[in-house]
Amino acid sequence: MSLDVLLVEDNPGDVRLTREVFRAANAAIRLHVAADGVEAMSFLKKQGDHSDAPRPALILLDLNLPKMDGREVLAHIKKDESLKTIPTVILSAVEAAADVDASYRLHANCYLTKPVIADDLDRIIGLINDFWLRNVKSPTTAVN
């Protein structure tokens, strides 16, 4: 059984590294990438080129994105009855207290600081995989 994960990230290097780490952590994961907030919302709402997009089991969301930033994306996700039950993890290079607080006020499921060292990213992705994709029981369908 495959697990779909949506990574919302605009840095190609971070996308490549995250893809490699997930591939090593869990071969069942199908990582989908949205390079900006507008594309993320199109994916989640199955619009345009994403009309056949799967419902992700998990969303990894960077805050600093072009077109629509991660805070706006998170607000849209958590206000939408059909999307709000998808676990949404903030994975950001910024560790500002205001960003952490704002993310939780917008109902992020957790906030993790993106590590700058590849080995630390391996550890973080391993923890995300073990907790969110192997142990947590989440709704599998849209809630309406």
Per-residue model confidence (pLDDT) at position 136 = 79
3-state secondary structure of 35: coil
**pLDDT of the chain along its 144 residues, tens only?**
788 999 999 999 889 988 988 888 888 899 999 999 999 999 999 999 999 999 999 999 999 999 999 999 999 999 999 999 999 999 988 788 998 999 999 999 999 988 877 678 888 888 888 888 877 777 665 444
Asked if residue 70 lies in contact with residue 64, where contact means CB atoms within 8 angstroms, the answer is yes
CATH architecture observed for domain 3-135: 3-Layer(aba) Sandwich (3.40)
Per-residue model confidence (pLDDT) at position 140 = 60
Closest CA relative to residue 83, chosen from 8, 26, 28, 14: 8
What tokens does 119 get?
């080995």
Q: Where does 56-130 show beta strands of DSSP type E?
A: 58-61, 88-92, 110-113
Per-residue model confidence (pLDDT) at position 144 = 43
Per-residue model confidence (pLDDT) at position 143 = 47
Q: Where does the chain show beta strands of DSSP type E?
A: 3-8, 29-34, 58-61, 88-92, 110-113
Asked if residue 41 lies in contact with residue 61, where contact means CB atoms within 8 angstroms, the answer is no
Buried b (16+ CB within 10 A) or exposed e, 5-31: bbbbbbeeebbeebeebbeebbeebeb
Amino acid letter at 119? Answer: D
